[in-house]
Amino acid sequence: MISESEVLARVQSGVGRLTLNRPKALHALNRAMCDAMIEALLAWRDDDAVKSVLIDHAGERGFCAGGDIRMIAESGAGDASEAKAFFDREYKLNHLLFDYPKPVTALVDGIVMGGGVGISEPADVRIATERTTYAMPETGIGLFPDVGGGWFLPRLPGQTGVWLALTGARLKAADTVFLGVHTHFLPSDALEAFRAILAADPAHPIDVADGLETDAGEPPIEPHLPAIERLFAFDAVEEIFAALEADGSDWALTQLATLKTKSPQSLKVTLRQLRTGASLGSFADNMAMEYRLGGRVVRTHDFQEGVRAVIVDKDNTPKWAPADLAGVFEAELDRLFAPLPADEEWRPLA
């Protein structure tokens, strides 16, 4: 059962507030937290007293660092049933937020990765602060950028989403606002003012954010955009590696060195995921694709090994298998992406 303190759901001055309150785990999501948020969102959807929804977190350590990776790995070591049940609910929450009929605001004040991205990217207003650190680091643990990454990342400017997904690069607010990952920048000490003004005008959070936003500063990524566009535009990871090596600049070689530390299987899964997601017609179709992938990838050697190396033992020396890109065959990718039996496919909430 969920502790009452893990998610605080209440209505205040016309705003449905969802506050993540699991600070010791950096507010990492578990299934009960997803259920609590779904329950509140469904209750507020047709409630005329609720004009908009605000997602934030307690404390200052981070917005949401992801999902319950240890549980997912332990489940994946068996039949993955618990992991798939978590993915099912988490993705239903992501889709509910994506299609929500009322404005949703996410105060992304601090670390936002994985599952935290999944509950903030669907929001209409996404506010970053000087404490924001954004990343989708899944290729470093043998996973892939799920929770809608296949939809959101390829829709960022140029090839920046592919670069972010493959390298797991960490961005601060100047870059996230510049790229459109987040819609506004507010200093963290202005968030209380935002909440107060929103309470007076709960139906128009974007107007409140527009009135308070300040300049996040020069985006460090901007000078590298032409290189990202040129070097990450290929449909095969091997071609990206070759382009980076041929380029030979310090920046390109740094990206190549980073990529060589990632799971070769995850790199290929992720690139196909993003190229496929870019062509899909609906967010629901993307989530169905990611659900197929999730239930299978968590049972692979690389995910189990990545979690061991990064999360459990913390030696940061995963032994990937296959150890290089040449060992990851198209037939294995086809298997991971294949449709499920009709009665096992993911579906959004009715």
Among 274, 279, 295, 287, CA closest to 349:
287
Reduced to 3 states (helix: H, G, I; strand: E, B; else coil), residue 214 is coil
**Residue 277, both tokens:** 């997601």
Rounded Cα gap, residues 99 and 123, in angstroms: 10
Rounded Cα gap, residues 348 and 350, in angstroms: 6
**Residue 114, both tokens:** 């994985």
Residue 142 near residue 305, CB atoms below 8 Å: yes
Reduced to 3 states (helix: H, G, I; strand: E, B; else coil), residue 4 is coil
Amino acid in the structure at residue 307:
V
Q: H or E segment at 22?
A: none
Residue 140 near residue 310, CB atoms below 8 Å: yes
Residue 148 near residue 285, CB atoms below 8 Å: no
The DSSP secondary structure of 106-175, one letter per residue, reads EEE-SEEETHHHHHHTTSSEEEE-TT-EEE--GGGGT----TTHHHHGGGSSTTHHHHHHHH---B-HHH
Token look-up 């096992």 returns 344
The CB-side HSE value for 292 (13 A sphere, CA atoms) comes to 20
Residue 200 near residue 246, CB atoms below 8 Å: no
Provide the annotated active-site residues.
67, 115, 138, 146
DSSP E strand stretches across the chain: 7-12, 15-20, 52-57, 104-108, 111-113, 125-128, 133-135, 184-185
